């Protein structure tokens, strides 16, 4: 037991030599889907980072209000989700020159489809 710290240090060196790297504790999939970035990039951050932060914020709003819309059709959740979809579409329109045109079109089709349909059906049941 007394030599345990020494043995752990030796093990760490061996793992690092073999290519092991420290992580923030998230799985590989989570790191790909949600890269660690500041929530609010600084004023000097590239435009793409600003757009990414805006898109992420609206996406998080969609996720936050999705259960209330799907389960209960709560008017506050429906309204918040509609606002998030409108803002997403506005960001996509404004940032179009910075983004891949095919990706923007796919996003626009998706937002016109499932989210809008879901919101309309939830609104009609309220």
Which residue from 33, 36, 38 is spatially nearest to 59, judged by alpha carbons? 33
- pTM attached to this predicted model: 0.55
Can you tell me the distance from the alpha carbon of 85 to that of 105, in angstroms, rounded to the nearest whole number? 15
Q: Which domain holds residue 33?
A: 4-125
Can you tell me the distance from the alpha carbon of 34 to that of 17, in angstroms, rounded to the nearest whole number? 28
Residue-wise pLDDT tens digits, 2-51: 788 888 888 888 888 888 877 666 666 666 566 555 567 778 888 888 88
* Number of domains observed in the structure of the chain: 1
Residue-wise pLDDT tens digits, 48-96: 888 888 888 888 888 888 888 888 777 888 889 889 888 888 888 888 8
Can you tell me the distance from the alpha carbon of 91 to that of 97, in angstroms, rounded to the nearest whole number? 11
Q: Where are the alpha helices (DSSP H) in 18-100?
A: 28-33, 47-67, 75-94
């Amino acid at each position: 037991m007394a030599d345990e710290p020494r043995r752990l240090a030796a093990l760490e060196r061996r793992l690092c030599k073999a290519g092991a790297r420290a992580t923030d504790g998230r799985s590989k999939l989570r790191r790909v889907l949600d890269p660690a970035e500041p929530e609010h990039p600084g004023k000097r951050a590239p435009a793409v980072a600003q757009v990414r932060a805006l898109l992420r914020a609206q996406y998080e709003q969609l996720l936050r209000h999705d259960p209330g819309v799907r389960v209960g059709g709560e008017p506050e959740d429906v309204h918040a989700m509609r606002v998030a979809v409108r803002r997403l579409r506005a960001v996509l329109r404004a940032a179009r020159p910075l983004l891949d045109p095919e990706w923007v079109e796919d996003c626009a089709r998706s937002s016109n489809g499932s989210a809008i349909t879901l919101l309309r059906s939830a609104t009609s049941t309220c």
